[in-house]
A and B are shown apart, each in its own frame.
Chain A
Amino acid sequence: MKPSASEAQRTQFDAGALVFVLAAAALALMVVLPLGWLFATSLQQHDTGRFTLGNYREAFTASIYLSPILNSLILALSVATIAVAVGTPLAFLMTRTDLPGRAILRVAVVAAFVTPSFLGAQAWMLLAAPNAGWLNKIWVASTGATHGPLNIYSLAGAVFVMSLYNIPYTFTFVSVALGSMPSEMEDAAAILGAHSLRRTLSITLPLALPAIVAGFIMSFLEALAEFGAPAFLLIPARAQVITTQLYLFFQYPSRVELAAAYAMPLLGVTAILLLAQRRLLGRKRYTMIGSKGARRNLIALGRARWPIFALAIVPPMLSVGLPYLALLGTSLSRSWGRGPVFGNLTFYWYHWAIFDNPEAKNAILHSFSYSFVAATIALAIATTVAFAVSRKLVPLGGLFAFVCMAPFVVPGIILAIGFFSAYSHPPLLLYGTAWILIVAFATRFLPIAFSNLMTALQTLSVDLENAAQTLGAGRIRTLFSITLPLLRTGMLSAWLLAFIPALRELSCAIFLFTPSTAVMSTVIFDFSDAGNFEAVATLGIVIMAITLVLVGAMYRFLGRSVMEAQSV
């Protein structure tokens, strides 16, 4: 007897359900287990392990613990606002106009993205320290002023540096959205006589709103959880933030329970942001059929081309051009403090980094292989959950979305403790192996992949999927022949957006690596911690050059359309 059509559909649905159950199980292991352990820890007394609310009381009543929270909120809000304000127009210019030098700008954005922000912070210390900064010295020498105008050791300085390295999030999100957006509405507006500016403001940008909001949230959460740059720039500015305060809880005698309690409200912040995002976007309909391949005419900038280019090149110059120039100068110095004088020039550090130092080579290999696997795992889970949630195939979609987003906001130092506890006992004995780093990276950057895919799915109409199902295709078939092909760009960019931060991840890795699994960031940080700027700069340049070449090759090979989305 032939199975009826509805039965066939049910078996296919069951297969889909199985995939979802697997993804949910992975989420439980990767997110719920470590965070659950942290939550339990936050409720324990230090010595006895007995239940207490005392950690929360202490963490949120003492004024010395409250001011870091205020500083962190100011920092994160400013960073996210600036990153969105710069990243959005940059993405628009690159995907929708005939701006010259787009290829250079694209490479610069990728270069900014792969640069660990603590490396960027160190470069900016060379450039804009109040007395020693090269830019200040140039200013003093050329104006005769007593001191220069820049002070990187300030809240404004930290906001500036962190914004620079957060622009790529919004930039990529918005680029993808603008690239996969069909041109019909804009064309219609054009036919109706709307000027390109009006078209942009009233059609294009509103359609890109989900991507802009996602970029804002991503930068906000990243700035909250960042340790390196605030530690370098804000301690001299005499300001503590949440992450530096958390670090202090681990000083002897360490207060792991208090640290866990102090970090928990960050999960609340994530929940609030996600709810706000839903409310903001939920009222409007942004879905469109992804009619990709529609040729779009680029907006001609005309005579403004070069002035706009001069403006557009400023952020990449500040995030990549000047910092790498400073690092290059340092890396070529015998001792950087003596400045660029004859006799101080040497290739010693390059010889050391490339030939004498086997750690650097291994670290590059580790970083790439671990990040590759981690990004793939994150993508698989994110795709499954995002699809199920956005198509309302499972109950409690909001909860699943929250679980996917939660790891991002928990600072790495805290998350590392959770991973360690969850994975240092049989049957999940991952500690000491590469897998604990892979799982940690996959978990930490799952939110980026998830957020990116949700954005992509929101701008994709369900109409085509419904049509396919009406014509008798099962869910799995619909997924593979309709949804995934349309999602291709979004998936590639999600993968890269998880892969690249994994390459530079530091705060988890530092607690989870072993000598045989050291990664790039831990190796660089070792030297920066010991004040060996020449070695830091050289390793930074060597590693970033290799990373850029490899990532560049991947972009060409995998994701031409990701950055170049529809611009030709």
Chain B
Amino acid sequence: MNSSRSRFITLTGAAAAAAGIPRIADARKQAVTDADVSKLYDAAKKEGKVVWWTAHFAQEAAEKIREAFKAKYPGIEVEFIRQTAQVIYQRLSQDLKAGIHELDVFASTDEAHYVELKKQNVLAEFQPADIDKLPAQFRSLDPDGSYQLGSLAFIIVNYNPAKIKPAARWTDLADARFKGQITTGHPAFSGYVGNWVVAMNDKYGWDYFKNLAANNPKINRSINDTVTDILGGERTIGAGPDNLSLFKKATGNSIDIAYPQDGSVLIVAPIAVLKDAPHPNAGRLFENFVYSREYSEAIVKQGHFPLRIGVPSMNGMTLERIKWMRVKAERLASGVPEVVAKWRETFGV
């Protein structure tokens, strides 16, 4: 036991540091056990920290996740940068161009980023031990295991229940009763909004947005701006995120969400460990932690949808009870630039 453990450390620690890729990566198609996780933890402790760039969460939620990780795995520091998906992607691109290896775990909300990074062959392929704790349809986002599920979110109708009855369907947003009431983000600034616009365009055609334009929506940048507009009373209804809306509702604000009958838009945001991560074991340990009970419980408190089976969501909704649609990553890659051009023509910005 002792010898096998030290052998593992030799493999994952020293060899990994030398090669930059730990052995566990080769075992991605094999079963990974809890014992492997504790070995990973031992090796990660030697590395001392993990560097995590995330667009999945607001600052506060990211801090809570760090606390939960450090409580479960004492001895490993978590350094994170929380920025929008485009900012962390641009930073990573710069790093890769310059040959700088500072990042372990990359958590963008834009699935297209991972398709591109995989093409560049910079992501580590591995199978996290606890990936089988996820709903079956999300266990192999990438068949080669170079990235995995990092977060789930829904774009829904958010609204002020004190002022308005919500739209039952997305198409109802074109009703005259919502004139001057609607708030949205911008598909060129926000990955979530881009996802929603492609979904609507593919379902209803671009006329959907021409009709919407007649209601003079307020156009912001981030999808989170819809929440701000509703809380402040600037507008009363939006195409917004489930997570921040629910979190603000829980903290006593007059905001609620409605799942449109014609389908909420599911956002699947991946997570990946870099091939040349400076802390490869800590990075893998962190990614595996994403599938832990502690992680899902921590994010649910912030309004986010749980990843792990068996952890209830904040409002008790489940994947089965919500009618949802999802735009595939390949379609997003071609669709977002296409709808952004149309958007700028229709809305003038």
A residues touching B (Cβ–Cβ < 8 Å)? 64, 126, 129-132, 153, 231, 235-240, 247-248, 250-254, 334-338, 417, 420-421, 424-425, 431-432, 510-511, 513-516, 526-527, 529-533, 535
Q: A514 contacts B60, CB within 8 Å?
A: no
Q: B189 contacts A251, CB within 8 Å?
A: yes
| B143 adjacent to chain A (CB < 8 Å) | no
Q: B84 contacts A529, CB within 8 Å?
A: yes
Give the shortest distance, in Å, between B217 (CB) and chain A (any CB).
10
Q: Given A252-B112, A510-B83, are A238 and B231 also a contact pair (CB < 8 Å)?
A: no
Please indicate the chain B residues that have their CB under 8 angstroms from the CB of A132 in the complex: 229, 232-234
Give the shortest distance, in Å, between A363 (CB) and chain B (any CB).
12
- Other 13 A-B pairs with CB < 8 A, given A338-B253, A511-B90: A129-B232, A130-B234, A132-B233, A235-B349, A250-B87, A251-B188, A252-B336, A334-B252, A335-B248, A424-B94, A530-B58, A530-B224, A532-B59
Could you mark each residue 221-255 of chain B with 1 if its beta carbon is under 8 Å from any beta carbon of chain A, else 0? 11011011111111100000000100010011111
Instruction: Pick 25 A–B contacts, CB within 8 A, sort by A.
Output: A126-B232, A129-B232, A129-B234, A248-B189, A251-B189, A252-B85, A252-B89, A252-B116, A254-B86, A254-B90, A334-B251, A335-B231, A337-B230, A337-B231, A420-B94, A421-B94, A421-B98, A424-B98, A514-B79, A514-B81, A515-B51, A515-B81, A529-B84, A529-B222, A530-B82
Complex CA gap A247/B98 in Å reads 21
Q: Name the residue on B nearest A533 (C-beta).
A: B228
Q: Name the residue on B nearest A68 (C-beta).
A: B349
| B275 adjacent to chain A (CB < 8 Å) | no
Please indicate the chain B residues that have their CB under 8 angstroms from the CB of A130 in the complex: 234
| B102 adjacent to chain A (CB < 8 Å) | yes
Complex CA gap A424/B229 in Å reads 41
Please indicate the chain A residues that have their CB under 8 angstroms from the CB of B221 in the complex: 231, 235
Q: Given A338-B253, A424-B98, A526-B82, are A235 and B219 also a contact pair (CB < 8 Å)?
A: yes
| B113 adjacent to chain A (CB < 8 Å) | yes
Q: Given A236-B218, A238-B347, are A250 and B84 also a contact pair (CB < 8 Å)?
A: no
Give the shortest distance, in Å, between A330 (CB) and chain B (any CB).
10
Contact among A131, A235, A239, A515 for B234, CB-based, below 8 A: A131
Q: A337 contacts B233, CB within 8 Å?
A: yes
Q: A235 contacts B252, CB within 8 Å?
A: no
| B344 adjacent to chain A (CB < 8 Å) | yes
Please indicate the chain B residues that have their CB under 8 angstroms from the CB of A254 in the complex: 86, 89-90, 93
Q: A336 contacts B86, CB within 8 Å?
A: no
Give the shortest distance, in Å, between A349 (CB) and chain B (any CB).
11
| B45 adjacent to chain A (CB < 8 Å) | no
Contact among B59, B79, B230 for A530, CB-based, below 8 A: B59
Complex CA gap A529/B341 in Å reads 24
Give the shortest distance, in Å, between A549 (CB) and chain B (any CB).
26
Give the shortest distance, in Å, between B223 (CB) and chain A (any CB).
10
Q: Given A235-B221, A235-B349, A239-B349, are A531 and B116 also a contact pair (CB < 8 Å)?
A: no
Complex CA gap A148/B82 in Å reads 37
A-side interface mostly: loop
Q: Given A132-B233, A239-B349, A526-B59, are A335 and B228 also a contact pair (CB < 8 Å)?
A: no
Give the shortest distance, in Å, between A375 (CB) and chain B (any CB).
26
Q: Name the residue on A nearest B241 (C-beta).
A: A531
Please indicate the chain B residues that have their CB under 8 angstroms from the CB of A253 in the complex: 112, 116, 337
Please indicate the chain B residues that have their CB under 8 angstroms from the CB of A527 in the complex: 58-59
Contact among B100, B255, B336 for A424, CB-based, below 8 A: B100
Please indicate the chain B residues that have their CB under 8 angstroms from the CB of A153 in the complex: 218
Please indicate the chain A residues that have their CB under 8 angstroms from the CB of B251 in the complex: 334-335
Q: Name the residue on A nearest B82 (C-beta).
A: A526
What is the size, in residues, of chain B's interface with A at 8 Å between Cβ atoms?
59
Q: Which of A129, A253, A337, A533: most chain B Cβ within 10 A?
A: A337
Q: Name the residue on A nearest B344 (C-beta).
A: A64
Complex CA gap A197/B164 in Å reads 60
Q: Which of A126, A417, A526, A530: most chain B Cβ within 10 A?
A: A530
Q: Given A334-B252, A526-B59, are A531 and B98 also a contact pair (CB < 8 Å)?
A: no
Complex CA gap A240/B186 in Å reads 12
Q: B86 contacts A238, CB within 8 Å?
A: no
Q: Name the residue on A nearest B348 (C-beta).
A: A238
Q: A240 contacts B349, CB within 8 Å?
A: yes
Give the shortest distance, in Å, between A517 (CB) and chain B (any CB).
11
Complex CA gap A531/B112 in Å reads 25
| B110 adjacent to chain A (CB < 8 Å) | yes
Please indicate the chain A residues that have their CB under 8 angstroms from the CB of B341 in the complex: 64
Q: Which of A64, A153, A251, A253: most chain B Cβ within 10 A?
A: A251
| B91 adjacent to chain A (CB < 8 Å) | yes
Q: Name the residue on B nearest A237 (C-beta).
A: B349
Please indicate the chain A residues that have their CB under 8 angstroms from the CB of B93 in the complex: 254
Give the shortest distance, in Å, between A550 (CB) and chain B (any CB).
25
Q: Name the residue on B nearest A131 (C-beta).
A: B234
Q: Which of A236, A252, A336, A421: most chain B Cβ within 10 A?
A: A252
Q: Given A334-B252, A511-B91, are A252 and B86 also a contact pair (CB < 8 Å)?
A: yes
| B80 adjacent to chain A (CB < 8 Å) | yes
Please indicate the chain B residues that have their CB under 8 angstroms from the CB of A510 in the complex: 83, 87
Q: Given A236-B218, A251-B86, A424-B100, are A531 and B227 also a contact pair (CB < 8 Å)?
A: yes
Q: A235 contacts B220, CB within 8 Å?
A: yes
Could you mark each residue 132-162 of chain B with 1 if its beta carbon is under 8 Å from any beta carbon of chain A, else 0? 0000000000000000000000000000000
Segment 169-224 of B: residues with Cβ below 8 Å from A: 186, 188-189, 218-222, 224
Q: Name the residue on A nearest B81 (C-beta).
A: A515
Q: Given A238-B219, A238-B349, A526-B82, are A531 and B244 also a contact pair (CB < 8 Å)?
A: yes
Complex CA gap A394/B47 in Å reads 54
Q: Given A511-B91, A527-B59, are A250 and B348 also a contact pair (CB < 8 Å)?
A: no
Q: A236 contacts B220, CB within 8 Å?
A: yes
Complex CA gap A418/B347 in Å reads 33
Q: B90 contacts A250, CB within 8 Å?
A: yes
Give the shortest distance, in Å, between A154 (CB) and chain B (any CB).
12
Give the shortest distance, in Å, between B101 (CB) and chain A (any CB).
11
The 8 closest A-B pairs by CB, nearest first: A337-B231, A530-B58, A424-B98, A132-B234, A238-B349, A132-B233, A132-B232, A515-B79
Q: Given A132-B232, A251-B188, A526-B82, are A337 and B347 also a contact pair (CB < 8 Å)?
A: no
